[in-house]
A and B are shown apart, each in its own frame.
Chain A
Amino acid sequence: MSRTKKFLTLFCLAILVCSCLVLIGCSQEKPAEVAAPVDQEAAKFGGTLVVAKPASPPHLDPDKATGPEISDIMYHVYEGLFEMNDKYEPIPQLAEGYTVADEGKTYVITLRQGVKFHNGKEMTSDDVVPSINRWLNVNGGGAKVKPFIASVTADSPYQVTVKFTEVYAPFLNMTASYASNQKLVIRPKELIEKFGEEVITEPIGTGPYKFVEWIPDQHVKLAKFAEYVPVTSPASGEAGARIAYVDEIKFQFVTEPAVRVAGVQTGEYHFADQVPTDQYDEFAANPDLQAIIVNNDKNMLLTFNMGQAPFNNIKARQAVSMAMDLEELGRGMVGNEKFWTLEPSLFAKGSIWYDADAGQGVYNVVDLEKAKALLKESGYDGKPVVILQGREDPNESPGAMVLKSQLEKIGMVVDVQLYDRATVVDLRAKVDTWNIHLSPFRAVYADPQVYGAWMGTKGWITNWDDADSKKMDDIFARMIKEIDYTKRLAIVKEWNKEVYTTLPYIKTVNFSRLHLANKSLQGYVDFPQSCFWNVWLEK
């Protein structure tokens, strides 16, 4: 073949490759315009809302697992006796109201009348009592409450009494907690009798949308419940009035983020749950899209395994704390500074449990020389410190790499082990396979003690068992019994202080996920759990 022909062939191939690259690089250059909040009076009824979710649920019973992929969908079908408002306070929803008596050991809950289940039956105490009992026996949140329960009784068709053996402060917060599917949802008693403690495969609730169809790994369809009667109070968080404007919601499971984005761009999806944050500027500049940063979303806790050296020694933990430059960690772990902040309080601003004084003198105080000295004092023997993380998580694995470089500066030998999630969960439950684990938590909780980790030091993976853990357990024990908010907040602050003194975990940064919506979706209000009542579609 002549040189000319060879050159022409290679040139054509190069053009082909470059054209593909240009097409990929092309983006719509349009003026930036952020969608303004829309008045509900402009709302329109009708249409099918399509939501692209990144993960498929294993089943549709929020009592039987803790993953948000279930409750994100099914909390449109089910409602709680209480729901969280945007200040993260429990507000009566299926309850009309409640009184607390007997120094906090008795809750008398009045039920709303005329509330219909999706099978047409009216909700009464005959349904609420078995729902509470199932929640206590099966749900992860309810199971934490159960040891404190004396009795649950129906006083009348619209009144239920819950009695405790001792004061249990988190009760109402726990019933409204959406974290880890802890919410107490109300179902017909016939359904509970039919399924008992097994996975409920016939979802029937009282929500504005009723269950229609589930094709595993493909989609879940919900349809508007025509007989739904909303509460009259204004919508706030997950509490208040819920209006079903759209006729149908289809939750489509789309694992690939680029495809979720493409679907919103073409209008095939109206909402994409969790899209890459590094494309935020591009999304914000596109007038056909709405880039939604989730406020008060998550925080990343560096968790120590204190069941073995070196972190069974507080000096080693202090050394790590002083070696960590949290701003560098935030940039490396999350990236765009619109998506992360430094925040020493375990609960974010906006929560009634926020502690403005948390972490003083400890949080993000970097002193490498002092850190090296502390590490030496701890008796660290040079054995590799294993940071165990999930490979697929967009924050955990880069966070681990930044952490590695920071800890190596103080003389620690670090081994970052990245695995798939199933392996991480398995290894993390063992004592001798890891030393540090970055674990995402929510930035705001219904209650300081929704998690077993904060009811007792045995409730999380830290393997912590020494004099300091007993002191922490004492704080937890007092916190759980204190129903006066002001006094309980004081104990929460004491807890924050103890965390920063003993460092069983290190609070790093608060960070946010990014959702993407098509401009046709209106009325969406940012909340850590996506809710699609009170939204409508503009044609």
Chain B
Amino acid sequence: MFNYIVRRLIMLLPVLIIVAVIAFLATHMMPGDPVRLILGDFATEDQVMALKKELGYDKPLFIQFFVWIGQIFHGNVGESLFLHQPVTEAILSRLEPTILLALVGQTLGVVIGIPLGVLAAVRHRSWIDQSAIGFSLIGISIPNFWLALVLILVFGVNLRWFPVAGYRPISEVGFGVIKYIVLPGVTLGFMQCGIIARMTRSAMLDVLKQDYVRTARAKGLSETVVITKHALRNALIPVVTVIGFSLATLLGGTWIVETVFNIPGTGALAITSIMRRDYPIIQGSMIFVALIYVLVNLLVDISYALINPRIKYR
């Protein structure tokens, strides 16, 4: 297992290099000029050319690329054109709310989604099953931004239980951060519930038909033991895969929720940077997201071995 983990971590490097190349080409080839956005609508051509020269954007693309790669190997991913702070600092400073949102959303999704999926599978074709299907369909289908606005209206404006938007860090408010995370966390969790419930139900239905489940029942084991110890554990592999994928997505930043709730997370940073063509941040964000996906996938693969002892990595 240790060798496997080391090999996977070593493979991280070529993946990040490929992502870096794609990130650079994608950002520089899309239309839009950050220099004109910085200077404003009435900038003269002289001002535009002067700033391009200052930023190095007057040089050929391949020279810009090698300069950037050279900086990366010195640990410098670049500096934001708009925030005037290093890219790593800009991303790291926004990680706290993104991680909190991801954890809350995913926890809600798992804590509600898995039991709901199990219940639906066990009570297959009953009204419980149909309700669970309906609920998960709603969770997957409802647009994030609509649900966010409804929650703001109900719980922020009408009931005044939570602030309508904004975020204050843990260092400032301690556990008070919870009130800023609840509504966006529920928004994210609702969709995660739907996805996880459906996947759990589908996996459980497959497993419940298996011979070893019939054997377990025939041996006189209680239904609870049959479901939780024999069926669920075998059904978890595809569920864990989905959880891993969605966790990686959440950690990469959910820009819709962050934008609506005005939470300064990595998703909002990425989207804002794309809108204003902040090349260093866009490139840095793409590499960051790739890193997250690779690491989360590694954790998911490790968890397979923990859930199913038959799976061994060498």
**What is A's interface to B at a CB cutoff of 8 Å?**
1, 5-6, 8-9, 12-13, 16, 20, 23-24, 26, 56, 58-59, 65-67, 140, 143, 180-181, 199, 201, 215-218, 252-256, 258-259, 262-263, 265-266, 268, 419-423, 425-427, 429, 439, 451-453, 459
Contact = CB atoms under 8 A, between A and B. Distances in A.
Contacts of A439: 41
21 contacts: A12-B131, A24-B149, A58-B38, A58-B276, A143-B47, A199-B84, A217-B272, A252-B166, A254-B166, A255-B262, A259-B164, A262-B156, A266-B160, A422-B34, A422-B36, A423-B32, A425-B36, A425-B37, A426-B33, A426-B36, A429-B33
B150 A9 contact: no
Interface residues of B, number: 53
A258 B152 contact: yes
B304 interface: no
Contact of A23 (B37, B82, B131, B154): B154
Interface string B33-46: 11011111111100
B259 A425 contact: no
Contacts of A423: 31-32
Interface stretch (B99-107, B122-130, B217-225, B295-303): B122-130
B247 interface: no
B83 A217 contact: yes
Contacts of A253: 262
Nearest to B145: A256
Nearest to B127: A5
Nearest to A4: B127
Interface string B149-161: 1101110111010
Contact of B259 (A6, A252, A256): A256
Contacts of B152: 258-259, 262
Given A6-B130, A268-B165, A420-B275, 15 more contacts: A9-B131, A9-B134, A12-B131, A24-B150, A56-B272, A58-B81, A66-B42, A140-B40, A140-B43, A199-B84, A253-B262, A255-B262, A263-B164, A426-B31, A453-B42
B32 A422 contact: yes
Interface in B106-143: 125-127, 130-131, 134, 138
Given A143-B44, A259-B165, A266-B156, A419 B264 contact: no
B152 to A, nearest CB: 5
B34 A23 contact: no
Contact of B39 (A65, A263, A421): A65
Contacts of B31: 419, 422-423, 426-427
Nearest to B165: A259
Contact of B264 (A8, A143, A217, A427): A217
Contacts of A426: 31-33, 36
Contacts of B160: 266
A56 to B, nearest CB: 7
**Central interface residue in A259, A421, A451, by most chain B CB within 10 Å:** A259
B277 interface: yes
Given A5-B130, A427-B31, A65 B163 contact: no
B260 interface: yes
A254 B261 CA distance: 8
Interface in B25-66: 31-34, 36-44, 47-48
A199 B164 CA distance: 34
Given A5-B130, A266-B160, A423-B31, A66 B84 contact: no
B264 A452 contact: no
B32 A262 contact: no
B33 A201 contact: no
Contacts of A6: 130
B268 interface: yes
A25 to B, nearest CB: 10
A59 B81 CA distance: 10
Contacts of B71: none
B153 A24 contact: yes
A463 to B, nearest CB: 12
Nearest to A144: B44
Kindly list the 7 A-B residue pairs having the minimum CB-CB distance in the complex, ordered from nearest. Answer: A66-B40, A422-B32, A58-B82, A262-B164, A423-B31, A426-B33, A216-B83
B131 to A, nearest CB: 6
B269 interface: yes
Contacts of B126: 1
A419 to B, nearest CB: 7
A254 B166 CA distance: 8
Contact of A425 (B33, B153, B167): B33
Interface in B64-95: 81-85, 90
Contacts of A218: 167, 264
A268 B163 contact: yes
Interface in B165-185: 165-167
A419 B30 CA distance: 12
Contacts of A429: 33, 36, 48
Contacts of B269: 217
Contacts of A20: 150
A260 to B, nearest CB: 9
Contacts of B134: 9, 13
Contacts of A217: 83, 264, 268-269, 272
